Amino acid sequence: MDESLIFEEDGEQIKAASVEKLINHCLKCFEQQTLVNSNDAKFVKVFFITYHWYITSEDLLSSFIDRAKQSKYDLHVLSQVYYTVKYWIVNYGSDFENKETMLLILDELNGIVQEKLKNGTIFTLNIEEWLAKRAKSVNTGSLSRKQSLNFNDVSSTDFANHLHYLIFKGFRKISIEECKRYGKSASALECPNLRDQISLFNDISKYVIAMVLSHNTPELRAKSIHKFIEMTKQLLKLNDFNTVMAVVGGLGHSALLRLNKTKEFLSPEDKLFIKETQEILSSDQNYAKYRSMADQVQGFTIPVLGVVMKDLIAMETAVGDFIKEGELMLINFRKMIQLSSILEQLLKSKKMQPEVTPVNHLLHVIRVSLRSRYTEDDLYDMSIQREPRENKASVSKSPSSSSSLLFSDWAKGSIDEPPNRDTVEKHVRAMVNAVFNTYDVDKNGFINEEEFDALATNFPFLDKFAVLDVDWYIFF
């Protein structure tokens, strides 16, 4: 009996194994080009999702080549290596992105394959082709498509689609390695793409609050809330639970909950929708209602990132990576199976794409519009200004005690730093170009007061045109 490879009692699924045995077992699953056995298919999927927990991508790829070398390039073994790496690239090609060492190792494997497997059926393992297909899958809409950049003119559906697209693009950038680092440390400081998504989530929530509070009258504030409700309905159709959580988190923030005069102008249907959606996203019973709803979704979906990360931390806290069998410390493959089910929720956004076609110009404006430096205290103060406390002596609920669905409860401290200056400048530059391509009809480098004020609706509390430019023209 091989003590470094232990199966479950059913004799089909692996319970624990050494790294070497897992690699060997992975290769054995590819006796032919396709995975015929369902247990093999399950194992290979778990293996490539979770290998990051015990070996680097570079070392894994090198190990595959070493197996071919050790066999003295036996054609059967070399074919196994080829089909294994091909599966890796096709299904988890993002593991190769921005990794020069891996590309060099892949070139070495290609050279061996081309030399040894001369049967006319072997094609070069091409990561560039995979990257090109991936980039093509996220192309934005035609720049010639006309689209107003004024928030009031943009339909709820269009605005929701563009928010969804921003989240989708960000999700695709989150690597499994980042997820591992976050799960181990419970901190996003060393996880730049994950941190960006945390910031974007909070920016969306704060944008919702600020846009509602930017209106002077209760009736207009209620109208703004209604628009965000319609956006939420569209996001639900897109199965984008993460952005739904962000928008509903804004609508459920204490800065808006206290606006009793505004609530009087909300329809019973709108009030009921907010209540029911908040119940679905409630953390009660470990997000039971949300999980039940998400499990029923077939096809593309964007999960609530905060819930996925909480699950990851819970798994890392409760279960170890290794288990002791006799004198050996083996990889706990039971844990890897559980990890893969958690991480697979994120991987859907890497393999699938949403059914939306965004417009670049509007995308740039929305991206910059969301860059708010308002704190929760700032937003609460704005709320007090809009609807002062009726009883001056009463103590109102503070933002810190709010039941808001902001990320701060699970990613506290990771989003306090200001956004990267170069990134902000890039987005602002793109937005300015978008504005002038849309509004500067005579191409003289100017936009007038009416055009500026229309655009300014995207930026809550931005000064009026006349305050910014007494000459009634603004020039960039």
Percentage of the chain exceeding pLDDT 70: 76
The pLDDT assigned to 137 comes to 60
- Rounded CA-CA distance 116/259 in Å is 73
Does residue 208 surpass a pLDDT of 60? Answer: yes
Q: What is the mean pLDDT of residues 339-363?
A: 88
Does residue 33 surpass a pLDDT of 70? Answer: yes
Does residue 299 surpass a pLDDT of 60? Answer: yes
Q: Who has greater pLDDT, 24 or 123?
A: 24
Does residue 425 surpass a pLDDT of 60? Answer: no
Does residue 80 surpass a pLDDT of 80? Answer: yes
The pLDDT assigned to 435 comes to 52
Q: Who has greater pLDDT, 131 or 248?
A: 248
The pLDDT assigned to 31 comes to 87
The pLDDT assigned to 324 comes to 92
Does residue 26 surpass a pLDDT of 90? Answer: yes
Q: What's the whole-number average pLDDT of the chain?
A: 82
Does residue 259 surpass a pLDDT of 90? Answer: yes
Lowest mean pLDDT among 129-133, 180-184, 205-209, 262-266: 129-133
Q: Who has greater pLDDT, 130 or 290?
A: 290
Lowest mean pLDDT among 46-60, 216-230, 365-379, 434-448: 434-448
Q: What is the mean pLDDT of residues 382-389?
A: 94
The pLDDT assigned to 181 comes to 95
The pLDDT assigned to 411 comes to 53
Q: Long-range pairs for 133-139 at CB < 8 Å and ≥24 separation?
A: 134/93, 134/94, 137/353, 138/168, 138/169, 138/172, 138/353
Task: Phi first, then psi: give them for residue 227, nearest 5 degrees.
Answer: -65, -40
pTM of the model: 0.82
**Which are the contacts of 423, defined by CB distance < 8 A and separation ≥ 6?**
none
Does residue 422 surpass a pLDDT of 80? Answer: no
The listed range with the strongest mean pLDDT (99-113, 138-152, 398-412) is: 99-113
Q: Who has greater pLDDT, 320 or 137?
A: 320
The pLDDT assigned to 471 comes to 39
Does residue 464 surpass a pLDDT of 50? Answer: no
pLDDT digits (tens, 9 = 90+) for 275-289: 999 999 999 999 999
Q: What is the mean pLDDT of residues 151-179?
A: 92
Give the residues across from 6 on adjacent strands: 16
Does residue 105 surpass a pLDDT of 60? Answer: yes
- Band (427; pLDDT cuts 50, 70, 90): very low
- Band (65; pLDDT cuts 50, 70, 90): very high
In this structure, the strands spanning 446-448 and 473-475 are: antiparallel
- Band (407; pLDDT cuts 50, 70, 90): very low
Q: What is the mean pLDDT of residues 136-145?
A: 50
Does residue 79 surpass a pLDDT of 50? Answer: yes
